[in-house]
Structure 1
């Protein structure tokens, strides 16, 4: 038996908001716009949303304080402002951080709760969420997940059905303004999602298998070409599609130890999330292959081997990451990662010693 569930309505294409923006009237009477410092403005997405809201006579309030790896503090502040401004739906514009923050702000604002309450396993209600991605990586526009950073600097993910975006507008024009390093990091993040999702799925859901394979193919065929012509809208559209496909996959499967081990690199060493995943993905897949070789060979299709996958990844991360990890950090991170919930979905013996060895091997690169 297999199942599929995606409550998010997805509208994709150039000028998609101008052609479908009247749908915003379905969600409320005042919008709370959640963005970061720059991408929503630079991409043109924010201006187009504001023009559409004005045309629809829908007032709005803008919260543009979301940082990379959004903190509990920022989300709780956003939730308070949402309530104080009497907004009744959220429009999240940007990369994974604003989208994840927008989801959490919607729940916090609706319930008047703290971020800690989002992790108690309850399906709290949320205001309707509209997602408008400006990067092609996280797939947050089609998932029920949000990853936040607590007061100790640790990234923690939560999920509940109410934070699936009600609607997502995908316009590849908004992704052209990504800096080169963000283009690479987000593409590798999408690849990680697609690969990890199929490791968990193991072909049991044939639809997810199909989506994963197609996402892998699009990224493999397109990423090199985008770096040669960053303004190519057709290539950007393919990469955006791949990221959304990969997001649909992990909405059904979750992720593996790759994500758990990569979080400290982002939280404490400022390595972009997709780059952190790419740095360690093949080593973890090799360990999984010791327990289930066929699972890995099927998941990485159309890559013919882990060696080919490693060569592909290495082209994009070589010379772009510099790490210095102390023995104390290696011990602390390994202890934390070895207890992560992601390991329940990861075949093989991933104990503290494995992660200590992993972090030692990537140290001082």
Structure 2
């Protein structure tokens, strides 16, 4: 058996209403000054209200940083770090989507160390200590609450990652009640994002391992069985719970068996055009799956029964095709936009997208099939034209 390592959070709390117990967790660390990292939309929706009230009622000083934005720019993170230091914060909590959780990870680390953000981009460069960290997601998508990864948008609109076990939180708090008000379009995009995490973890070329495999399979089973339902009925607490659990399991899987070309091609779409991350993934997913098919057919065939039980396909090639077609069907059934043109990207932009995608070497090395600039351009071209999305066989 190939040797592997596997890392995950020390503690996970999964329960409806779990976010109301955050103050109890804070008190376990003897913290006197806490920073809450979130965004204005989440706070305005009242999702942080109970946690804020409980922390304050416990006599703990609370600083709220609510200026997180999607695809967090480096200057936003640095501003939050400055406030954290100025207020002598000794524990960081985040309630929000992936951008808020990623920001909180870096705040907890950078506020404790002399490291600069520019010095820790890459794998394993953040080696210092961090403040205690509690993360509670409000979407079932990124899995950031259980990963050692934080993604940052640089001043040159490039997405860079900080990857270090130091970013794994002390507590992941999963409260499905926090996801009940998520709009259908965000639910769909984040749900597909979580599915991509499971798929890419299962097919990762470099660090694929048996623990990530099992987590990815269970995640994909839960997500495929519930994603259409949560898009139809966002108040279904059981389906929301299954999605949140699936998202976390997928996060644990790809934290140890990293993602690949789908994310590499999605990052420039988000960084340059500010398309939400989950939607960026969904737009290129069918075409990357088709591109990878010659190298990943056997693995796709193994996943087919998880996303479409009872398909009746017998040959490996047919099962792999069922898998790809079902992923396309999920996107369409959940009303996810089907082309880059539909989100305002022009054909003249494809060259820049392909150039920036090729900078994501940290991710591309994991792809089951080597991908060149010409391949990336062909995938973007297929994703650009809505007509090519009627058949995901457009990419050679």
TM-score range, shorter chain: over 0.9
- CA separation in 1, counterparts of 2:177 and 2:246? 15
Partners of 1:71 and 1:271 in 2: CA distance = 14
Listed as ranges, the gaps of 5+ residues in structure 2 are 308-318, 387-396
Distance 1:54 1:235 in 2: 32
Report if the CA contact (8 A) 2:206-2:257 is conserved.
no
Q: Could you tell me which of 161, 164, 169 is aligned with 1:165?
A: 169
Alignment pair present for 1:355 and 2:376:
yes
Q: TM-score, normalised by structure 2?
A: 0.86
SS of 1:60's equivalent in the other structure is strand
The whole-number CA distance in structure 2 between the counterparts of 1:19 and 1:87 is: 20
SS of equivalent residue, structure 1 residue 135: coil
TM-score with structure 1 setting the length: 0.93
SS at match of 1:302: helix
Aligned match of 1:335 in 341, 355, 371?
A: 355
How far residue 243 of structure 1 moved from its aligned partner, in angstroms, is: 0.6
Aligned partner (choices 109, 112, 115) of residue 111 of structure 2 = 109
CA distance in 2, matches of 1:163, 1:203: 19
Deviations 1:176-210 (A, max 9, x none): 11122111111111111111111117995333222
2:96 maps to which residue? 94
- What is the RMSD of the two structures over their aligned residues, measured on CA atoms? 2.1
Answer with 276-285 or 2-11: which moved more.
2-11
Counterpart contact for 1:202–1:295, Cα < 8 Å: no
CA contact (8 A) 2:292 2:368 kept: yes
1:150 paired residue among 144, 148, 154: 154
Q: For 1:75 and 1:91, locate their aligned partners in 2 and report how far apart those are by CA, in whole Å.
A: 15
2:73 to 71, 74, 95: 71
Match of 1:251 in 2: 255
* Rounded Cα–Cα distance in structure 2 between residues aligned with 1:248 and 1:192: 13
Task: Label 1:54 to 1:319 Cα distance change in 2 as closer, same or farther (>3 A).
Answer: closer
- Once the two structures are superposed, residues 26-52 of structure 1 have per-residue CA deviations (whole angstroms, 9 ceiling, x without a partner) of 33221011111121441x431111122
Deviation at 1:136, TM superposition (A): 0.8
Runs of 4+ in 1 over 6 A off after TM superposition: none
Quick one: which of 8, 27, 31 aligns to 2:34?
31
- Cα distance, 1:128–1:331 mapped onto 2, change above 3 Å: same
- Per-residue deviation, residues 212-262 of structure 1 (Å, max 9, x unmatched): 112112121111112222111111111111110111101111111110101
List aligned pairs for 1:174-185, cutoff 5 A. 174-185=178-189
Superposed displacement of residue 364, structure 1: 4.8
Comparing 73-82 with 281-290, greater Cα deviation is found at 281-290
Contact kept? 1:288, 1:296, Cα under 8 Å: no
Distance 1:202 1:73, change over 3 A: closer
Aligned 8 A contact 1:323 1:364 in 2:
no
- SS in structure 1 opposite 2:227? helix
User: Which stretch has the larger CA shift, 283-292 or 250-259?
Assistant: 283-292
